[in-house]
Structure 1
Amino acid sequence: MTAPSNDLPVFSAIKPAEVEGRIRALLDANRAELERLLSNNAATWDSLIVPLEEMQHRLSRTWSPVGHMNGVVNSDELRAAYNACLPLLTAWNTDLAQNERLYQAYETVLKNEGARLSPGQRKLVENALRDFRLAGVALPPEKKQRYKELVEKLATLQSKFDENVLDATNAWSRLLTDEKEIEGLPAPIVERARAAAEAKQQVGWLFTLDAPNYTAVMMHAVHEPLRRDFYHGWTTRASEQDGNQGRWDNTELMDQILAVRHEVANLVGYPNYAEYSLATKMASSVPEVRGFLEQLATKSKPVAQQEFDELTKFAGRELNAWDVAFYAEKLKRERFNLSEEALRPYFPLPRVLAGMFSVAEKLYGVKIAERAGVDIYHPDVRFYDILNDDGSRRGSFFVDLYARAKKRGGAWMDECVGRKHMGGATSLPVAYLVCNFMPPMGSQPSLLTHSEVVTMFHEFGHGLHHMLTRVDYPSIAGINGVAWDAVELPSQFMENFAWRAEVIPMISAHVETGQPLPEAELQRLLGTRTFQAGMQTVRQLEFALFDLRIHSEFVPGAASKVLQTLGEVRSQVAVVKPPAFNRFPNSFQHIFSGGYAAGYYSYKWAEVLAADAFSAFEEGGIFNRTVSSKFLSAILEQGGSRDAMDAFVEFRGRKPTIEPLLKQLGLAA
């Protein structure tokens, strides 16, 4: 494994057997460097904080490609290397965060240089001091040690949770041989399943449990037993219900994760993990978040119930959970004379990608160009540069968009390299943009549904936040240092462009004729935006309230309350009642292994910010460069260098209000 150059990771040189040794050597060098820095009595911004930022940047650049490959080209060897390094990295970060001499040195910098620091520099130091306190820097030695043990254990538990979901998902497959069973399924899905069966010398159609297959079956399979089978497979992954004799069961892991988080919070003086989590967010307390979610529930639950009653009447039968998407799609087709599947030919991936890039170019005055010859980890991957108007490079990103085995499900953006400009060599930001769309079939490109188009715009919004930053210090550049309930603002803001009549002709071109989506279909598509918005909203509120409650109400030593709490939340907000076998929490990676623990509400919180921000574009014209330049300078370029609310107020001229979101969702009174 080679050290990262000042440019891009050399994925082909990453050898799992060398990863642990490389990380150990880097951490040893970091510890020696830290001791040297702390032995210098005069702690200043230049003598202490700049070298520390450089050190952490170096470590991040080395580890990021390893963690990324573990998620997208998983193997037993890579998994073992990744898991061997997790405790080492967790211990390093904890040692750093609990180092009293370092804490005092940061305090010295703030005291002696605070008045001379730029607002961004001051924010970096204040963030660090806050994080020292949250890591228990003031605790007695035995409690510090306990904190360290807990966060190392948590990292291991969360990694195991992810592995169980991946393995349980990969273990599930269905070989269908009766044409009746595949009735209604889109032709590309059927052809993909036929090819999968053929590759294994089987006759029929072989389906795996990836997102393109699951979504297609739930929305289009006429054969109800197939929908139920897929629904059961998807909602029981990594549980005692999944048919794998508990091999990948996450039930106990969930309680262990909650218990460890709760103890961590208690150790540093918080009553529960939810309050601890909110110490770094815009929202100030659990009651404030719960009140926000329940206010939205009050607005959306009656609408959702009305929508569900209408759907039940349309179906002419009682609806099971695995029927809802199927009949919703039928109702949407009838009401709007429009089908998600029928629109796929108008959204070939290359056209969508090029059009999405054009949107960013028009908004922010940049150019996006593909670069060949970059070292990649899989043939599906492409690489692009973002260029300033003078041709200089602003940032870059890897694009990995197709579903495949050994790749984590879902869609996400992650940091490959953070921006750094501090005296030494400059590093430009590099991102990973990952989705799980249906791969191309033969000479035909991947064809997207409009929902998938929206997903890609969402992740690209995160990417622009990371890559367009002008902040020079890695820990507050791009998405780093941004309050977690504001981090979804740029992504959800970007989704709006996929719903605009001005943009859809830029991202649509029929795969055979090259014609953009006709005006009549375009208008009908726009009309679907608020279709079942109430039902979609209460589903997100269900996830957010469940997450908040299990983290704020955890009682050590008590029997597991995970399913009980979920049941109570569903009684409060849900209109679709899932079957008893549903084990959704067991694969809820966002909160049990991702960054959204006690923070899933952030999606709705940031949706308020995003809808309000976008309303400024609606008022001034969506490609109005005055408005977009202000959004760029106030929000995207600032990264985590200033308070999220201050940044929003600079852009909008006032604090956010919920009305634009309610209007966008069709829930306004």
Structure 2
Amino acid sequence: MSNPLLEAHELPPFSHIRPEHVEPAIRELIARNKAAIEDLLAQPGTPDWDSLPQRIEDLDDDLARAWSPVSHLNGVLNSEALRQAYSACLPLLSEYNTWVGQHRGLYEAYQAIADSPAFADLAQAQQQALSNALRDFRLAGVALPEAEQRRYAALQQELSELSSRFTDNVLDATNAWTRKASAEELTGLPESALAVARQAAQQRGEEGYLLTLDFPCLFPVLTYCENRALREEIYTANVTRASETGPHAGQWDNGPLIEDILTRRKELASLLGYPDYAALSLATKMADSTEQVVTFLEELAERSLPQARREWQELATYAREQHGVETLEPWDVGYYSEKLRQHTFDVSQEAIRPYLPMPRVLAGLFTVVERLYGVTVVELEDFDRYHPDVRLFEVREAGTPIARFYLDLYARSHKRGGAWMDDCRIRRRLADGSLQLPVAYLVCNFTPPVDGQPSLLTENEMTTLFHEFGHGLHHMLTQQQVAAVSGINGVAWDAVELPSQFLENWCYEREALAFISGHVDSGEPLPDALLEKMLAARHFQAGMQMVRQLEFALFDFRLHRDWGQDGVSVQGVLDAVREQVTVVPVVPFNRFQHSFSHIFGGGYAAGYYSYKWAEVLSADAFSRFEEEGIFNPRTGAEFRRHILEAGGSRQAMDLFVAFRGREPEIDALLRHTGIAA
């Protein structure tokens, strides 16, 4: 049978891809690539850029064109058959990547190019790509004895499979919990949340309301539901997902997987000569040492904790004096925080939502981008969709297409939670001299449209949309033509959040909100009075939010630094971090770590600190716009040139200094997040 994954398509042929296509295509492409690499190395003469790295890049792209849509569909349209096909390929891809990374002949050929006189004549991007490749060969164990290379390969394969199982368990555990509820039980929920629960019931052919652990349902229940017992029930189900406790105790328990993952990561680091996995992870990051990262996080904690403690006391006092609640439980925090927010600022999150209908916010986002960078965004209608919700857009400059992106915005079952950007096509110069334009996937899990009405975004959903589009711009506006440093490729992981967090700032600028917001019925932008309240409430509980993120970051980093030492346990590390930085009491059954997919199922292992590290960069970068004008076209052009267009072609700190004129300062972050410096 013909296999769409082996055919050339400008964009993925989603509707034609079947689970049975996946493994045969990946096996064939891997075999093809291995044979092609051996042929390239057998050619006489000294290799140069065009005869080797360029050709390897072509082979990588062939494999990526097949795997990218499969990986994407596994995240957004998961099924048992697709999951099995996807999982079957993970060991194949792991083995192939290790085979390439440990190929002595390929490594020596790359080293020969780097050592040749011709290296000086290569473009900066080509030199950086070669330098990165040589580093990655070493990190893949190219210099290890054969027995240790085999062990490295086995560890990588096992880690790939364990991480995938971790993510599957979280998805299954999330989907498994539902609860029918009556209107009386849901007293306090806004109509938008009731509509989501009604729609969830209808989709399953049931009457009334159905609660799930999807964020558009979970968040409103914890924030608005007056029924304390129901809040406790949904909170408990959420924080015990994929664990040995809670309503589905032991069914998808990630506890053993976490320990298996950590043990293998530790062994991997040891094989490569690093004291721990945290140190290994820094080989590709901006930060210089594990000490520097921990000091950075602890300094932020030290400067944030006094405010966080004041905020917690204020909340506890308010709940006791105004509502007679003597002891605030974790399932009370969101509920009474929202009441305190309304009491203090006279504004509810629900009051803002009618002014943030998805069509208006999306158009506003595109206007911000046009004013900053001079590019326009146009929707395309004729393309192969994998779901009716999916849309396709084209980015144009002076009328010429420069990129495209898929937009998949709404939560649904069998779709991984959270929000992310991924690449579908990378901007690169092809062997025939033509230019491949970048294509991105932008995925969110917003409240879906209900009853023919547009989705009304929360303030948080608006900033999430801007955040992911910031990642998308990094991928789509790159001017690099070498895949290894194009877009976010080759960018230090602790700098990759710079463009995303940076773009969030426009969500809180009056000049931008004038066209980002518009009432769903009248189109009128946020009234001045409501806008003032929203801006005043922006930094509500900023200290508590900061230390919560620092808890995640310190837990991740210390766990990967200390794992394998005597007496170190996952829960023990988490408890110690909470003792240091947490102000909100934690219940003993909380198993947050069992669904911490960022570090056990994604790319943030010993790297969750990157969010705060990059936030220092983004806050300081935005402060230049505050000084020169938030829509200053010259400042926008410089940010585009030095940050977005440069991709991974130069060191992240060099690019930041080129834009800002100096190294970053932490005070901008504290000011931007509303923490008294």
TM-score normalised per structure 2: 0.97
Matched, 1:572 2:580: yes
Check the 8 A contact 1:659/1:668 in 2, yes or no: no
Distance in 2 between the 1:123 and 1:287 partners? 27
Q: Tell me if structure 1 keeps the 8 A contact 2:55–2:431.
A: no
Matched residue of 2:435: which SS?
coil
Counterpart check, 1:221 vs 2:225: yes
The Cα of 1:6 is off from its aligned counterpart by 5.1
Deviates more, 1:101-110 or 1:4-13: 4-13
Q: Which amino acid aligns with 1:176?
A: A
Task: Tell me the alpha carbon deviations over residues 453-475 of structure 1, each in whole angstroms, 9 at most, x when there is no partner.
Answer: 00110000000000000000111
**Cα distance in 2 for residues equivalent to 1:308 and 1:269:** 44
Contact kept in structure 1, 2:111 and 2:134, CA below 8 Å = yes
Task: Give the aligned partner of residue 10 of structure 1.
Answer: 13
Distance 1:375 1:201 in 2: 29
Inter-partner Cα distance in structure 2 for 1:202 and 1:283:
53
Equivalent position SS for 1:480: coil
Q: Which of these residues, 45, 53, 68, is aligned with residue 49 of structure 2?
A: 45
**Are 2:195 and 1:191 aligned?**
yes
For the residue of structure 2 that corresponds to 1:667, the secondary structure is coil
Q: Distance in 2 between matches of 1:364 and 1:341?
A: 32
CA separation in 2, counterparts of 1:195 and 1:604?
37
Instruction: State the partner residue of 1:146.
Output: 151
Residues 312-336 of structure 1 show CA distances to partners (whole Å, capped at 9, x for unaligned) of: 1111132111111111111111111
**How far apart, in 2, do the equivalents of 1:194 and 1:382 lie?**
25
Q: Distance in 1 between matches of 2:447 and 2:567?
A: 42
Q: Which residue of 1 aligns with 2:375?
A: 366
SS in 2 for 1:552: helix
Note the 1:74-473 alignment, pairs <5 A. Answer: 74-112=78-116, 113-177=118-182, 179-316=183-320, 317-389=326-398, 391-424=399-432, 425-473=434-482
- Report the CA distance between 1:560 and its aligned residue: 6.4
For residues 175-221 of structure 1, what are the alpha-carbon distances to aligned partners after superposition, in whole Å with 9 as ceiling and x for unaligned?
A: 012x3310111112212222332444434311111011111111111
Say if 1:485 and 1:606, in contact at 8 Å, map to a contact too: yes
Does residue 20 (structure 1) correspond to residue 23 (structure 2)? The answer is: yes
Gaps of 5+ in 2: 321-325
- Among 551, 564, 572, the alignment partner of 1:555 is 564
Mapped contact 1:4–1:61 kept (Cα < 8 A): no
Report the alpha carbon displacement of residue 5 of structure 1 after superposing the two structures with TM. Answer: 3.1
Offset of residue 405 of structure 1? 0.4
1:104-130 Cα offsets, whole Å, 9 max, x none, are: 111111111221111111110000011
Corresponding residue pairs, total = 666
- 2:266, 2:239 → 1: CA distance? 26
> In the alignment, is the contact (CA less than 8 A) between 1:4 and 1:10 conserved in 2?
no
CA–CA distance in structure 2, aligned partners of residues 459 and 77 of structure 1: 29
Structure-1 residue corresponding to 2:606: 598
How far the C-alpha of 1:371 sits from its partner, in A, is 0.4
Please give the secondary structure, in 2, of the residue aligned with 1:45.
Answer: coil
Partner SS, residue 649 of structure 1: helix
1:660 paired with 2:663, answer: no
SS at match of 2:510: coil
Task: Give the C-alpha shift of residue 580 in structure 1.
Answer: 0.5
Kindly provide the amino acid, as one letter, of the partner of residue 562 in structure 1. V
One-letter amino acid of the counterpart of residue 494, structure 1: L
Instruction: Tell me if the contact between 1:570 and 1:577 (Cα under 8 Å) persists in the aligned partners.
Output: no
CA contact (8 A) 1:255 1:560 kept: no
Q: Residues 378-427 of structure 1: CA distance to partner in whole angstroms, max 9, x if unpaired? A: 000000000011x1111110000000000000111111111111442421
CA change 1:63–1:198 in 2 (3 A) is closer
- C-alpha distance 245-628 of structure 1, shift in aligned 2 (>3 A): same
Alpha carbons 1:346, 1:511 under 8 Å: kept = yes
Once superposed, what is the RMSD of the aligned Cα atoms?
1.1
Structure-2 residue corresponding to 1:641? 649
Runs of 4 or more, structure 1, over 6 Å off, are: none
Q: For 2:335 and 2:535, locate their aligned partners in 1 and report how far apart those are by CA, in whole Å.
A: 20
| Residue 245 of structure 1, CA deviation | 4.1
Write the distance in 2 (CA, Å) between the matches of 1:478 and 1:404.
29
Q: Is the 8 A contact 1:549 1:565 kept in 2?
A: yes
What is the CA–CA distance in structure 2 between the aligned matches of 1:120 and 1:582, rounded to whole Å? 47
Counterpart CA distance in 2 for 1:498 and 1:219 is 22
Which stretch shows the higher mean deviation, 314-323 or 344-353? 314-323
**Of 14, 29, 39, which residue of structure 2 is paired with 1:36?**
39
Q: Determine the C-alpha separation between the residues in 1 that align with 2:338 and 2:192.
A: 18
Q: Which amino acid aligns with 2:649?
A: S
Aligned to 1:395, the other structure's residue is in SS state strand
What pairs up with 1:445-594 in 2 under 5 angstroms? Answer: 445-555=454-564, 561-594=569-602
Separation in 2 of the partners of 1:398 and 1:451? 21
Q: Deviations over 1:228-254 (max 9, x none)?
A: 111111111000113324121000000
The answer on whether the counterparts of 2:199 and 2:450 sit within 8 Å (CA) in structure 1 is no
How far apart are residue 564 of structure 1 and its match?
1.1
CA drift at 1:355: 0.6
